[in-house]
Amino acid sequence: MREQDHALYPRQRRDVSRWERRGLSPRAERIFNIVSTVVLLVLAVGWVYTIRQALVEGVRPAGLAAEVTMNPLSPESPPPTPYLLDLAARSFVSDTMLRGYSGAVRVAVQAPGDTVPAPDSLPAGVEVQLTPGEQEERPGVWNVMLRMRDAIMPVPNFTVLTLTPLSEKRGGRIGSYVIGSWPYESGGRPRSPQYAPPAGLVRVTPQNMNTPVSDHFVLADFLTKGQRNVWPKYVAMSPRLLDKLELTIQQLEANGHPVEHVGVISGFRTPSYNEGGGNPAGRGALSRHMYGDAMDWYVDNNRDGRMDDLNGDGRVDIRDARVIAEAAEQVEKKYPSLVGGIGVYRPTGAHSGFVHLDTRGYRARW
């Protein structure tokens, strides 16, 4: 009878949710519902915030709707901010106006008030900002930062040097540092713009003197000899010269002469030092070293303070300096805009020979 009753009146099943049928307990279902509600609220808040920020930044509603609803994996979707910042950083690395033909220049030099240097290929919406590169009241070395909305990325291996104007000189000095005066500084017109007094000088301190200015040179390589304990010091320095130096090093390596380290005889010379160390008239008064676009240097891979045996004849003499000069000649043929002086110096008691390079704007040889 009981089995018959079961057949006539089957047990009635209670309606349950499909979540329960999948195995969720009532308690688990309540937790799931709460979590789902929180997630939806977060998405809704994010949606509203995105719309508000876009409207504040001037995005039109039609374009806003398209951007908000677009599939981020779609080829037509806007690139994400990290991608654009990385693209902007890469544009600094490849920009010839900033990094030179060599791609090895690491600085831009600008007068106070100049616009921040930036590549023409900088993506829209990316801003270039400068942050102090040293902990001083008057920083002269600045790190370059890229900003897009709230995201920030530093530009690697590149800094901006701001100039201290010559108007800060008093009695031929800036502070305690003796500089002297350039020809035509107080009046007159030089024969070419290359011989006009510099627009200003880079302030060098013990904190920033080792700042790389190119792949093989640092800021201290341009310091004038003397005044050892006087700080800050000041130098003139040309990125075009850095480019020519680095191109010459690259040409040396292409010619089979690896360059791991260089030695510097002389970079920038203040007019005061130049006058005291040589003939203050004629060519001496117009030394390119006073304008920051000349350097006397040599290859010193073994770091012994002397020119290396570049031609492999077992001796160090003027023929090794000529190996560098020949590489510089090749550079000038490829890049006429960097034409200038190339001078070869034989070894003496004070040094083992070196090469002078400058970018004076016309050919000179000695």
Retrieve residue 86's tokens: 């990385």
CA distance linking residue 338 with residue 191, whole number of Å? 19
Burial class (CB in 10 A: 0-12, 13-18, 19+), 100: buried
Same domain for 195 and 312? yes
Q: What is the per-residue DSSP string for 31-83?
A: HHHHHHHHHHHHHHHHHHHHHHHHHHTT--HHHHHHHHHS-TTSTTSPPPHHH
Closest CA to 134 of 125, 122, 143: 143
**Which parts of the chain register pLDDT below 50?**
1-14, 16-20, 59-73, 77, 278-283
**CATH number, domain containing residue 206:** 3.30.1380.10
Pull the structure tokens for residue 241.
């010269």
Q: 205-228 pLDDT, tens per residue? A: 999 999 999 999 999 999 999 999
The answer to whether residue 31 sits within a structural domain is yes
Give the pLDDT confidence score for residue 5 in this predicted structure: 40
What is the structure's pLDDT at 40? 77
The predicted structure's pLDDT at residue 235: 97
The DSSP bridge pattern shows strands 233-235 and 341-345 to be: unpaired
Give kind and range of the element (H or E) at residue 358: strand 354-358
Same-domain check for residues 62 and 187: no
Could you tell me if residue 108 is inside a domain? no
Residue 2 lies inside a defined structural domain of this protein: no
**Within a domain: 141:** no
Tokens for 104? 């090895």
Q: Please give the residue range of the domain that contains residue 51.
A: 14-69
Q: What is the pLDDT of residue 93?
A: 83
Would you state the pLDDT for residue 14? 47
299 falls within a domain: yes
pLDDT tens per residue, range 306-345: 999 999 999 999 999 999 999 999 999 999 999 999 999 9
CA distances from 192 to 43, 303, 308, 338, 358 (A): 65, 39, 37, 16, 15
Tokens of 3: 């089995």
| 61 and 193 share one domain | no
pLDDT given at position 32: 73
Query: Of 51, 69, 87, which residue constitutes the final position of a domain?
Result: 69
Residue 152 lies in a domain: no
One domain for residues 234 and 356: yes
Sign of the alpha-carbon dihedral angle for 174, 176, 182, 187: positive
Is residue 330 domain-shared with residue 212, that is, in the same domain? yes
Please tell me whether residues 169 and 54 are part of one structural domain.
no
DSSP labels for 115-160?
Answer: PPP--TTPPTT-EEEEEESSSSSS--EEEEEEEETTEEEEEEEEEE
Identify whether the C-beta of residue 293 lies closer than 8 Å to the C-beta of residue 356: no
- End position of a domain, from candidates 38, 69, 100: 69
Number of domains in the chain: 2
Residue 224 domain-assigned (yes or no): yes
Per-residue confidence (pLDDT) for residue 26, from 0 to 100: 73
Same domain? For 209 and 342 the reply is yes
Which of 28, 50, 69 is at the close of a domain? 69
140 part of a folded domain: no
Domain shared by 184 and 329, yes or no: yes
CA-closest candidate to residue 197, choices 176, 172, 221: 172
Range list of H helices, the chain? 2-8, 18-21, 26-56, 61-69, 81-94, 96-99, 239-254, 271-276, 318-334
